[in-house]
């Protein structure tokens, strides 16, 4: 399972992305930077796969901490340390399910390829190309779920909405919550 998290993850090289000549793509990456997720999504690509697999194999959530061992060394991750490490905002919505309905409605039209609001139970083909890429980045780097990435789910679309509609998010809490789900059996 952990290997699928690793193999489906995405590292964003923001410097290269901003050099793309396509205005829609550049605008989307600038919006992503403005969301304050650059520190998390742009973290160095050097990954120690064995250590990550061991971390998740041994990981548990105890008293709100993510606790594990790597090479026999105990590791404890607190939410505030996680947020500080990736320079994540800690003010705003702490739960993606609390996304305002009006923002979801607005985003359905903003990302639409045809101008008609996208269907939340449909496929990404309804979206403009740069928003399809953003959807992949959000799904693979943030929600880190293995499987098909062509379908639009409410969770993926809520993450996309947070970025596209500039919703103030407590990304530290949202992402730490996802980390806790990943280490929970």
Q: Is 90 left (phi over 0), alpha (psi -120 to 50) or beta?
A: alpha
| Residue 4 pLDDT exceeds 70 | no
Secondary structure (DSSP) of 53-82: HHHHHH-EEETTEEEEEETTEEEEE-HHHH
| Residue 150 phi, psi dihedral angles, 5° rounding | -85, -25
User: Would you state the pLDDT for residue 25?
Assistant: 77
- Separation of alpha carbons 60 and 66, rounded Å: 6
Lowest mean pLDDT among 26-30, 84-88, 116-120: 26-30
| Residue 145 pLDDT exceeds 90 | no
User: Would you state the pLDDT for residue 2?
Assistant: 44
| Residue 109 pLDDT exceeds 50 | yes
| Residue 60 pLDDT exceeds 60 | yes
Answer for the pair 141, 10: CB distance below 8 angstroms, yes or no. yes
List 112's β-bridge partners, or say none.
127
More confident residue, 68 or 34: 68
Residue with tokens 């809490």: 173
DSSP state for residue 117 in the 8-state scheme: P
Instruction: Report CA torsion sign: 32, 33, 35, 39.
Output: positive
Q: Residue ranges per domain, the chain?
A: 2-47+88-171
Residue 146 confidence class, pLDDT cut points 50, 70, 90: low
Residue 105 confidence class, pLDDT cut points 50, 70, 90: very high
């Amino acid at each position: 399972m952990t290997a699928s998290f690793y193999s489906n993850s995405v590292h964003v090289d923001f410097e290269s992305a901003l050099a793309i000549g396509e205005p829609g793509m550049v605008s989307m990456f600038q919006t992503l930077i403005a969301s304050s997720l650059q520190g998390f999504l742009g973290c160095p690509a050097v990954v120690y796969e064995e250590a990550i697999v061991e971390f998740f194999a041994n990981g548990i959530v105890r008293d709100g901490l993510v606790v594990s061992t790597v090479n026999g060394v105990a590791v404890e991750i607190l939410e505030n340390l996680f947020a500080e490490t990736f320079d994540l905002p800690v003010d705003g919505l702490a739960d993606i399910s609390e996304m305002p309905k009006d923002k979801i409605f607005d985003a359905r039209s903003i990302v639409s390829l045809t101008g008609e609001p996208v269907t939340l139970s449909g496929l990404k083909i309804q979206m403009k190309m740069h928003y399809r890429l953003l959807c992949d980045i959000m799904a693979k780097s943030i929600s880190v779920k293995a499987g098909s990435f062509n379908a639009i789910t409410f969770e993926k679309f809520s993450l996309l909405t947070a970025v596209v509609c500039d919703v103030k998010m407590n990304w530290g809490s949202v992402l730490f919550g996802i980390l806790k789900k990943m280490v929970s059996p």
